[in-house]
Amino acid sequence: MSDQPPRKKSKWDDDEEEIAQERERRRAQKLAARLMSEKEQLERSHERGATDSPRGSGRSSVESTPRRAAWDDDGSARLRKVPRRGREAHPLLESCRSVYCYERLNEIEEGSYGIVFRARCKSTGDIVALKKLKMDKEKNGFPITSLREIQTLMTVPHENIVRVREVVVGDTLTQVFIVMDFIEHDLKTLLANMPTPFLASEIKTLVMQLLSAMAACHDNWVIHRDLKTSNLLMNNRGQIKVADFGLARTYGDPLGDMTQLVVTLWYRAPELLFGATEYTTAVDMWSIGCIFGELILREPLLPGRGEIDQVNKIFKLLGRPTDELWPGFRKLPNAKSFNIDAAQPYSTLSRTFRYLTQSGLDLLSRLLTYDPAKRITAEEALKHAYFEESPLPKDPGLFNSFPSVASGEKKTTLASPSAPQAGGGYDFV
Protein backbone atom coordinates (compact mmCIF):
# COMPACT_ATOMS: atom_id res chain seq x y z
CA MET A 1 0.00 0.00 0.00
CA SER A 2 1.13 3.52 -0.73
CA ASP A 3 1.93 5.80 2.18
CA GLN A 4 1.03 8.87 0.15
CA PRO A 5 -1.61 11.09 1.76
CA PRO A 6 -4.99 11.29 0.02
CA ARG A 7 -5.25 13.81 -2.77
CA LYS A 8 -6.35 17.19 -1.52
CA LYS A 9 -9.67 18.25 -2.99
CA SER A 10 -9.13 20.85 -5.67
CA LYS A 11 -10.78 24.19 -5.18
CA TRP A 12 -12.16 23.73 -8.68
CA ASP A 13 -14.01 20.54 -7.78
CA ASP A 14 -17.77 20.85 -7.61
CA ASP A 15 -19.27 20.41 -4.16
CA GLU A 16 -22.84 19.38 -3.43
CA GLU A 17 -23.93 22.98 -2.93
CA GLU A 18 -22.60 24.03 -6.35
CA ILE A 19 -24.24 21.05 -8.03
CA ALA A 20 -27.55 21.87 -6.37
CA GLN A 21 -27.25 25.50 -7.45
CA GLU A 22 -26.54 24.43 -11.02
CA ARG A 23 -29.65 22.25 -11.06
CA GLU A 24 -31.70 25.12 -9.69
CA ARG A 25 -30.19 27.49 -12.27
CA ARG A 26 -31.24 25.20 -15.10
CA ARG A 27 -34.76 24.97 -13.72
CA ALA A 28 -34.86 28.76 -13.53
CA GLN A 29 -33.74 29.12 -17.13
CA LYS A 30 -36.47 26.70 -18.24
CA LEU A 31 -39.02 28.71 -16.27
CA ALA A 32 -37.77 31.96 -17.79
CA ALA A 33 -37.96 30.47 -21.29
CA ARG A 34 -41.51 29.28 -20.67
CA LEU A 35 -42.56 32.70 -19.40
CA MET A 36 -41.01 34.36 -22.44
CA SER A 37 -42.75 31.90 -24.77
CA GLU A 38 -46.12 32.59 -23.17
CA LYS A 39 -45.49 36.33 -23.35
CA GLU A 40 -44.55 36.14 -27.05
CA GLN A 41 -47.70 34.14 -27.78
CA LEU A 42 -49.73 36.79 -25.98
CA GLU A 43 -48.11 39.60 -27.97
CA ARG A 44 -48.68 37.78 -31.29
CA SER A 45 -52.29 37.30 -30.29
CA HIS A 46 -52.59 41.02 -29.54
CA GLU A 47 -51.04 41.90 -32.92
CA ARG A 48 -53.53 39.66 -34.75
CA GLY A 49 -56.34 41.37 -32.91
CA ALA A 50 -55.01 44.78 -33.94
CA THR A 51 -54.68 43.91 -37.65
CA ASP A 52 -57.95 41.98 -38.01
CA SER A 53 -60.13 45.12 -37.90
CA PRO A 54 -62.92 45.27 -40.57
CA ARG A 55 -62.06 46.82 -43.92
CA GLY A 56 -63.35 50.27 -44.66
CA SER A 57 -63.13 51.43 -41.10
CA GLY A 58 -61.11 54.38 -42.29
CA ARG A 59 -58.46 53.87 -39.58
CA SER A 60 -55.18 52.01 -39.84
CA SER A 61 -53.95 49.62 -37.18
CA VAL A 62 -51.33 52.19 -36.21
CA GLU A 63 -53.92 54.93 -35.77
CA SER A 64 -56.06 52.67 -33.60
CA THR A 65 -53.18 51.74 -31.34
CA PRO A 66 -53.87 53.07 -27.83
CA ARG A 67 -51.38 54.40 -25.36
CA ARG A 68 -50.94 53.19 -21.80
CA ALA A 69 -48.47 53.31 -18.96
CA ALA A 70 -45.62 50.82 -18.93
CA TRP A 71 -43.71 49.72 -15.83
CA ASP A 72 -40.08 50.85 -16.04
CA ASP A 73 -37.27 49.11 -14.18
CA ASP A 74 -37.44 51.72 -11.43
CA GLY A 75 -41.15 51.08 -10.96
CA SER A 76 -42.20 54.38 -12.58
CA ALA A 77 -44.76 54.62 -15.34
CA ARG A 78 -44.18 55.88 -18.86
CA LEU A 79 -46.44 56.07 -21.91
CA ARG A 80 -45.87 53.60 -24.70
CA LYS A 81 -47.76 52.41 -27.76
CA VAL A 82 -49.09 48.88 -27.50
CA PRO A 83 -51.19 46.79 -29.88
CA ARG A 84 -54.95 46.79 -29.26
CA ARG A 85 -55.96 43.60 -27.53
CA GLY A 86 -57.83 41.13 -29.69
CA ARG A 87 -60.89 39.18 -28.52
CA GLU A 88 -58.99 35.89 -28.78
CA ALA A 89 -56.52 37.14 -26.16
CA HIS A 90 -59.23 37.55 -23.53
CA PRO A 91 -58.64 34.23 -21.68
CA LEU A 92 -54.95 35.06 -21.22
CA LEU A 93 -55.85 38.52 -19.96
CA GLU A 94 -58.29 37.10 -17.44
CA SER A 95 -55.51 34.88 -16.04
CA CYS A 96 -53.44 38.07 -15.43
CA ARG A 97 -50.16 36.82 -16.88
CA SER A 98 -49.27 40.36 -17.86
CA VAL A 99 -48.46 43.06 -15.33
CA TYR A 100 -50.74 45.37 -17.31
CA CYS A 101 -53.68 43.53 -15.78
CA TYR A 102 -52.88 45.56 -12.68
CA GLU A 103 -53.05 49.27 -11.92
CA ARG A 104 -50.31 50.55 -9.65
CA LEU A 105 -51.59 52.56 -6.69
CA ASN A 106 -48.59 53.36 -4.49
CA GLU A 107 -45.19 52.07 -3.45
CA ILE A 108 -45.14 50.23 -0.13
CA GLU A 109 -41.45 49.57 0.41
CA GLU A 110 -38.16 48.70 -1.25
CA GLY A 111 -36.13 45.85 0.18
CA SER A 112 -33.00 43.90 -0.64
CA TYR A 113 -34.77 41.72 -3.19
CA GLY A 114 -37.47 43.86 -4.72
CA ILE A 115 -39.85 46.80 -4.70
CA VAL A 116 -43.37 46.21 -3.38
CA PHE A 117 -46.35 48.16 -4.72
CA ARG A 118 -49.99 48.24 -3.81
CA ALA A 119 -51.98 47.56 -6.96
CA ARG A 120 -55.51 46.88 -8.17
CA CYS A 121 -56.51 44.02 -10.46
CA LYS A 122 -58.32 45.64 -13.39
CA SER A 123 -60.64 42.69 -13.97
CA THR A 124 -61.72 41.97 -10.38
CA GLY A 125 -60.93 45.15 -8.47
CA ASP A 126 -58.96 43.15 -5.89
CA ILE A 127 -56.24 45.06 -4.05
CA VAL A 128 -52.97 43.12 -4.13
CA ALA A 129 -49.30 43.50 -3.29
CA LEU A 130 -47.13 43.48 -6.40
CA LYS A 131 -43.47 42.67 -5.73
CA LYS A 132 -41.13 43.63 -8.57
CA LEU A 133 -38.07 41.41 -8.39
CA LYS A 134 -34.65 43.02 -8.66
CA MET A 135 -33.25 41.55 -11.87
CA ASP A 136 -30.79 44.28 -12.85
CA LYS A 137 -27.75 42.14 -11.94
CA GLU A 138 -29.07 38.88 -13.32
CA LYS A 139 -27.25 37.25 -16.25
CA ASN A 140 -28.04 33.58 -15.64
CA GLY A 141 -31.79 33.61 -15.10
CA PHE A 142 -33.91 34.23 -12.02
CA PRO A 143 -32.19 35.19 -8.77
CA ILE A 144 -32.20 32.21 -6.44
CA THR A 145 -33.82 34.31 -3.70
CA SER A 146 -36.87 34.86 -5.91
CA LEU A 147 -37.11 31.22 -6.93
CA ARG A 148 -36.94 30.13 -3.31
CA GLU A 149 -39.60 32.65 -2.31
CA ILE A 150 -42.03 31.54 -5.02
CA GLN A 151 -41.35 27.85 -4.45
CA THR A 152 -41.72 28.07 -0.67
CA LEU A 153 -44.90 30.14 -0.71
CA MET A 154 -46.52 27.71 -3.12
CA THR A 155 -45.23 24.64 -1.24
CA VAL A 156 -46.39 25.65 2.24
CA PRO A 157 -49.95 27.02 2.07
CA HIS A 158 -50.99 28.23 5.51
CA GLU A 159 -53.40 30.82 6.87
CA ASN A 160 -50.53 32.64 8.57
CA ILE A 161 -48.23 32.73 5.52
CA VAL A 162 -48.76 35.32 2.80
CA ARG A 163 -50.35 33.81 -0.32
CA VAL A 164 -48.88 34.04 -3.82
CA ARG A 165 -51.58 34.49 -6.44
CA GLU A 166 -49.45 34.34 -9.57
CA VAL A 167 -46.26 35.50 -11.26
CA VAL A 168 -46.65 38.13 -13.99
CA VAL A 169 -44.22 39.73 -16.43
CA GLY A 170 -43.78 43.11 -18.06
CA ASP A 171 -42.17 43.95 -21.39
CA THR A 172 -38.99 41.99 -20.75
CA LEU A 173 -37.81 39.24 -18.43
CA THR A 174 -36.15 41.91 -16.31
CA GLN A 175 -39.69 42.89 -15.30
CA VAL A 176 -40.96 39.98 -13.22
CA PHE A 177 -43.54 40.45 -10.47
CA ILE A 178 -44.94 38.25 -7.72
CA VAL A 179 -48.62 38.96 -7.05
CA MET A 180 -49.53 38.41 -3.40
CA ASP A 181 -52.43 39.18 -1.11
CA PHE A 182 -52.27 42.74 0.18
CA ILE A 183 -51.91 42.97 3.97
CA GLU A 184 -52.47 46.32 5.66
CA HIS A 185 -49.75 46.41 8.31
CA ASP A 186 -46.37 45.12 9.39
CA LEU A 187 -45.59 44.60 13.07
CA LYS A 188 -42.52 46.84 13.11
CA THR A 189 -44.51 49.87 11.95
CA LEU A 190 -47.40 49.05 14.26
CA LEU A 191 -45.12 48.81 17.29
CA ALA A 192 -43.65 52.23 16.46
CA ASN A 193 -47.00 53.96 15.89
CA MET A 194 -49.32 52.34 18.43
CA PRO A 195 -50.34 54.74 21.22
CA THR A 196 -50.49 51.84 23.70
CA PRO A 197 -48.67 48.48 23.69
CA PHE A 198 -50.24 45.18 22.74
CA LEU A 199 -52.09 43.50 25.59
CA ALA A 200 -50.69 40.26 27.02
CA SER A 201 -53.60 38.37 25.44
CA GLU A 202 -52.83 39.96 22.05
CA ILE A 203 -49.13 39.13 22.27
CA LYS A 204 -50.05 35.50 22.93
CA THR A 205 -52.25 35.45 19.83
CA LEU A 206 -49.55 36.98 17.63
CA VAL A 207 -46.83 34.62 18.89
CA MET A 208 -49.12 31.59 18.52
CA GLN A 209 -49.86 32.49 14.90
CA LEU A 210 -46.16 32.93 14.17
CA LEU A 211 -45.37 29.57 15.80
CA SER A 212 -48.15 27.91 13.80
CA ALA A 213 -46.74 29.27 10.52
CA MET A 214 -43.22 28.15 11.39
CA ALA A 215 -44.43 24.72 12.48
CA ALA A 216 -45.91 24.30 9.00
CA CYS A 217 -42.66 25.45 7.35
CA HIS A 218 -40.48 23.22 9.50
CA ASP A 219 -42.76 20.22 8.92
CA ASN A 220 -42.10 20.79 5.21
CA TRP A 221 -38.31 21.03 5.72
CA VAL A 222 -38.20 24.78 5.15
CA ILE A 223 -36.16 27.26 7.22
CA HIS A 224 -37.26 30.88 6.83
CA ARG A 225 -33.89 32.40 7.84
CA ASP A 226 -35.09 36.01 8.03
CA LEU A 227 -37.81 36.31 10.65
CA LYS A 228 -38.19 39.84 12.03
CA THR A 229 -41.06 42.17 12.88
CA SER A 230 -40.90 43.98 9.52
CA ASN A 231 -41.48 40.63 7.77
CA LEU A 232 -44.57 39.87 9.84
CA LEU A 233 -47.66 41.38 8.26
CA MET A 234 -51.01 41.81 10.03
CA ASN A 235 -54.42 42.51 8.56
CA ASN A 236 -57.25 44.41 10.22
CA ARG A 237 -58.69 41.14 11.52
CA GLY A 238 -55.73 40.49 13.80
CA GLN A 239 -54.28 37.81 11.54
CA ILE A 240 -50.51 37.47 11.14
CA LYS A 241 -48.98 36.66 7.73
CA VAL A 242 -45.31 35.69 7.51
CA ALA A 243 -43.74 37.27 4.42
CA ASP A 244 -40.42 37.67 2.59
CA PHE A 245 -39.16 34.15 2.01
CA GLY A 246 -36.23 35.38 -0.11
CA LEU A 247 -33.70 33.73 2.21
CA ALA A 248 -35.80 30.62 2.87
CA ARG A 249 -34.09 27.31 2.28
CA THR A 250 -35.09 23.68 2.26
CA TYR A 251 -32.81 21.43 4.27
CA GLY A 252 -32.19 17.71 4.37
CA ASP A 253 -31.23 14.84 6.60
CA PRO A 254 -28.28 14.67 7.00
CA LEU A 255 -27.70 18.40 7.09
CA GLY A 256 -25.56 19.97 4.39
CA ASP A 257 -23.42 23.08 4.58
CA MET A 258 -25.29 26.37 4.30
CA THR A 259 -24.19 29.98 4.50
CA GLN A 260 -24.11 31.56 7.95
CA LEU A 261 -24.74 35.01 6.42
CA VAL A 262 -28.49 34.82 6.88
CA VAL A 263 -31.02 36.40 9.23
CA THR A 264 -30.98 40.12 9.93
CA LEU A 265 -28.33 40.80 12.60
CA TRP A 266 -30.66 41.69 15.48
CA TYR A 267 -32.49 38.37 15.12
CA ARG A 268 -29.51 36.15 14.29
CA ALA A 269 -28.94 33.01 16.38
CA PRO A 270 -25.61 32.59 18.23
CA GLU A 271 -24.60 29.52 16.20
CA LEU A 272 -24.74 31.69 13.05
CA LEU A 273 -22.73 34.45 14.70
CA PHE A 274 -20.16 31.84 15.75
CA GLY A 275 -19.83 30.73 12.11
CA ALA A 276 -21.78 27.46 11.99
CA THR A 277 -22.53 26.28 8.44
CA GLU A 278 -24.64 23.32 9.54
CA TYR A 279 -27.77 24.52 11.29
CA THR A 280 -31.43 23.68 11.64
CA THR A 281 -34.86 25.22 12.15
CA ALA A 282 -33.55 26.29 15.56
CA VAL A 283 -32.27 29.51 13.94
CA ASP A 284 -35.91 30.48 13.28
CA MET A 285 -36.84 29.71 16.88
CA TRP A 286 -34.17 32.10 18.17
CA SER A 287 -35.61 34.81 15.89
CA ILE A 288 -39.08 34.12 17.31
CA GLY A 289 -37.65 34.62 20.80
CA CYS A 290 -36.28 38.02 19.73
CA ILE A 291 -39.67 38.93 18.23
CA PHE A 292 -41.48 37.79 21.39
CA GLY A 293 -39.27 40.08 23.46
CA GLU A 294 -39.75 42.96 21.01
CA LEU A 295 -43.54 42.68 21.22
CA ILE A 296 -43.30 43.06 25.00
CA LEU A 297 -40.67 45.83 25.11
CA ARG A 298 -41.89 47.67 21.96
CA GLU A 299 -38.27 47.96 20.86
CA PRO A 300 -35.72 45.51 19.42
CA LEU A 301 -34.43 43.13 22.06
CA LEU A 302 -30.83 42.82 20.80
CA PRO A 303 -30.01 45.81 18.52
CA GLY A 304 -26.32 45.16 17.86
CA ARG A 305 -24.21 47.58 15.80
CA GLY A 306 -22.12 44.75 14.35
CA GLU A 307 -21.46 41.08 14.93
CA ILE A 308 -19.14 41.58 17.92
CA ASP A 309 -21.55 44.04 19.54
CA GLN A 310 -24.42 41.65 18.78
CA VAL A 311 -22.67 38.80 20.60
CA ASN A 312 -21.86 41.09 23.52
CA LYS A 313 -25.52 42.09 23.81
CA ILE A 314 -26.50 38.41 23.87
CA PHE A 315 -23.92 37.74 26.60
CA LYS A 316 -25.25 40.71 28.60
CA LEU A 317 -28.83 39.41 28.42
CA LEU A 318 -28.24 35.68 28.85
CA GLY A 319 -24.82 35.49 30.49
CA ARG A 320 -21.81 33.92 28.80
CA PRO A 321 -22.18 30.41 27.36
CA THR A 322 -20.42 27.50 29.03
CA ASP A 323 -19.46 24.04 27.83
CA GLU A 324 -22.31 22.66 29.93
CA LEU A 325 -24.88 25.03 28.42
CA TRP A 326 -23.62 24.69 24.84
CA PRO A 327 -21.32 21.71 24.24
CA GLY A 328 -18.80 22.18 21.43
CA PHE A 329 -19.41 25.89 20.83
CA ARG A 330 -15.70 26.72 21.29
CA LYS A 331 -14.91 24.65 18.18
CA LEU A 332 -17.05 26.84 15.90
CA PRO A 333 -15.06 28.93 13.37
CA ASN A 334 -15.66 32.35 14.95
CA ALA A 335 -15.47 31.35 18.62
CA LYS A 336 -11.99 32.85 19.09
CA SER A 337 -13.20 36.21 17.77
CA PHE A 338 -15.21 36.87 20.91
CA ASN A 339 -13.94 37.52 24.44
CA ILE A 340 -16.16 34.87 25.99
CA ASP A 341 -14.49 34.45 29.37
CA ALA A 342 -14.64 38.19 30.10
CA ALA A 343 -18.41 38.33 29.62
CA GLN A 344 -20.73 38.46 32.60
CA PRO A 345 -21.61 34.99 33.90
CA TYR A 346 -25.26 35.51 34.84
CA SER A 347 -28.52 36.10 32.97
CA THR A 348 -30.52 39.34 33.23
CA LEU A 349 -33.56 37.98 31.39
CA SER A 350 -35.92 38.06 34.39
CA ARG A 351 -34.80 41.60 35.28
CA THR A 352 -35.37 42.76 31.69
CA PHE A 353 -38.86 41.21 31.59
CA ARG A 354 -39.90 41.83 35.18
CA TYR A 355 -43.63 41.93 34.35
CA LEU A 356 -43.64 38.68 32.39
CA THR A 357 -45.08 35.66 34.22
CA GLN A 358 -42.88 32.74 35.20
CA SER A 359 -44.46 30.68 32.45
CA GLY A 360 -43.76 33.43 29.92
CA LEU A 361 -40.16 33.71 31.09
CA ASP A 362 -39.76 29.96 30.73
CA LEU A 363 -40.98 30.06 27.12
CA LEU A 364 -38.75 33.04 26.29
CA SER A 365 -35.68 31.41 27.87
CA ARG A 366 -36.32 28.18 25.95
CA LEU A 367 -36.54 30.15 22.70
CA LEU A 368 -33.32 32.00 23.57
CA THR A 369 -31.34 28.91 24.51
CA TYR A 370 -27.69 28.89 23.44
CA ASP A 371 -27.56 25.24 22.38
CA PRO A 372 -29.66 24.86 19.21
CA ALA A 373 -30.16 21.16 19.99
CA LYS A 374 -31.91 22.13 23.25
CA ARG A 375 -33.86 25.09 21.85
CA ILE A 376 -37.62 24.58 21.88
CA THR A 377 -39.32 23.65 18.57
CA ALA A 378 -42.38 25.36 17.11
CA GLU A 379 -44.59 22.34 17.84
CA GLU A 380 -43.38 22.19 21.44
CA ALA A 381 -43.83 25.93 21.93
CA LEU A 382 -47.45 25.79 20.74
CA LYS A 383 -48.17 23.39 23.62
CA HIS A 384 -46.43 25.54 26.25
CA ALA A 385 -48.32 26.38 29.44
CA TYR A 386 -47.88 30.11 28.75
CA PHE A 387 -50.72 29.96 26.21
CA GLU A 388 -53.03 28.18 28.65
CA GLU A 389 -52.74 30.55 31.61
CA SER A 390 -54.77 33.71 32.13
CA PRO A 391 -55.19 35.88 30.17
CA LEU A 392 -55.91 33.48 27.33
CA PRO A 393 -55.00 34.39 23.73
CA LYS A 394 -57.37 36.98 22.31
CA ASP A 395 -59.67 36.23 19.38
CA PRO A 396 -57.95 37.85 16.35
CA GLY A 397 -61.27 39.34 15.25
CA LEU A 398 -61.37 41.45 18.43
CA PHE A 399 -58.10 43.28 17.69
CA ASN A 400 -58.29 47.04 17.15
CA SER A 401 -57.82 48.39 13.64
CA PHE A 402 -55.03 50.84 12.84
CA PRO A 403 -54.22 53.33 10.06
CA SER A 404 -52.44 51.47 7.27
CA VAL A 405 -49.09 52.92 6.21
CA ALA A 406 -49.02 50.51 3.26
CA SER A 407 -52.32 51.98 2.01
CA GLY A 408 -50.89 55.47 2.15
CA GLU A 409 -52.96 56.52 5.16
CA LYS A 410 -49.84 57.51 7.07
CA LYS A 411 -46.15 57.54 6.21
CA THR A 412 -43.46 56.65 8.73
CA THR A 413 -39.81 55.94 7.98
CA LEU A 414 -38.19 53.51 10.39
CA ALA A 415 -34.53 52.73 10.83
CA SER A 416 -33.94 49.01 10.62
CA PRO A 417 -31.06 46.78 9.57
CA SER A 418 -31.33 44.94 6.29
CA ALA A 419 -31.15 41.23 5.69
CA PRO A 420 -27.79 39.90 4.46
CA GLN A 421 -27.47 40.68 0.77
CA ALA A 422 -28.70 37.70 -1.24
CA GLY A 423 -27.85 35.19 1.42
CA GLY A 424 -24.10 35.57 1.27
CA GLY A 425 -23.33 34.09 -2.13
CA TYR A 426 -26.61 32.31 -2.72
CA ASP A 427 -28.01 35.13 -4.82
CA PHE A 428 -28.01 33.55 -8.28
CA VAL A 429 -29.48 30.38 -9.65
- Residues 168 and 119: their CA atoms lie apart, in Å, by 13
How many whole angstroms separate alpha carbon 17 and alpha carbon 19? 5
Q: Look up residue 263 and give its amino acid.
A: V
Q: Residue 245: phi, psi to the nearest 5?
A: -95, 25
d(CA 302, CA 268): 9
pLDDT of residue 327: 95
Better-scored residue on pLDDT, 80 or 264? 264
pLDDT-based confidence at residue 402 (cuts at 50, 70, 90) = confident
* Whether the predicted pLDDT of 244 surpasses 80: yes
pLDDT at residue 141, rounded to an integer:
59
Residue 147 carries which side chain, given as an amino acid letter?
L
- The answer to which of 45-59, 78-92, 103-117 has the lowest mean pLDDT is 78-92
Residue 172 to residue 73: CA distance in whole angstroms = 10
Q: Is the distance from CB of 387 to CB of 208 less than 8 angstroms?
A: yes
What is the CA angle 190-192-196, rounded to 5? 80
- CB within 8 Å of 3: residues ≥ 6 apart: none
CB–CB of 228/267 below 8 Å? yes
Angle ∠(420,425,429) on CA atoms, nearest 5: 115
Print burial letters for 179-202: b (CB count within 10 Å at least 16), e (below 16): bbbbbbbbbbbbbbeeeeebebeb
Q: Which of 75, 104, 109 is nearest to 413 (CA)?
A: 109
The neighbour count for residue 405, using CB atoms within 10 Å, is: 21
In order of 147, 224, 288, the CA distances from 365 in angstroms are: 35, 21, 11
Task: Please state the rounded mean pLDDT for residues 96-113.
Answer: 81
Q: Is the pLDDT of residue 299 over 60?
A: yes
Asked about 226 being catalytic, the answer comes back as: yes
> For residue 128, what are the β-bridge partners?
119, 181
What pLDDT score was predicted for residue 351?
96
Report whether pLDDT(293) > 50.
yes
- Rounded to whole angstroms, the Cα distance separating 341 from 344 reads 8
Global pTM? 0.72
Domain map of the chain by residue range?
Answer: 65-77+89-182, 186-407+418-423
Band (pLDDT 50/70/90 cuts) for residue 115 is: confident
Give the C-alpha separation, 180 to 32, whole Å: 20
Helix axes 282-297, 358-367, angle to 10 degrees: 140
Which of 3, 73, 226, 341 is the catalytic position? 226
**What average pLDDT does the segment 272-279 reach?**
91
Contact 146, 133 (CB under 8 A): yes
Instruction: Read off the pLDDT of residues 308-346 as tens digits, 9 standing for 90 and up.
Output: 999 999 999 999 999 999 999 999 988 888 888 777 888
Q: Which CATH class is domain 65-77+89-182?
A: alpha beta
Q: Helix, strand, or coil here: 164? A: strand
pLDDT the model gives residue 9 = 46
Q: Are 110 and 116 in contact (CB under 8 A)?
A: yes
- C-alpha to C-alpha distance for 246 and 145, rounded to whole angstroms: 4
Mean pLDDT of 47-58: 45
> Over the chain, what is the mean pLDDT?
78
Q: Which residue has the higher pLDDT, 20 or 349?
A: 349
Residue 151's pLDDT band, with cuts at 50, 70 and 90, is confident
Note the pLDDT tens digit of each residue in 375-386.
Answer: 999 999 999 999
* Exposed/middle/buried for residue 53 (C-beta within 10 Å: 0-12, 13-18, 19+): middle
Inform me whether the pLDDT recorded for 282 exceeds 60. Answer: yes
CATH of 186-407+418-423, one of 1.20.1260.10, 3.40.50.300, 1.10.1040.10, 1.10.510.10: 1.10.510.10
Q: How far is CA 38 from CA 32, 98, 369, in A?
A: 10, 10, 50
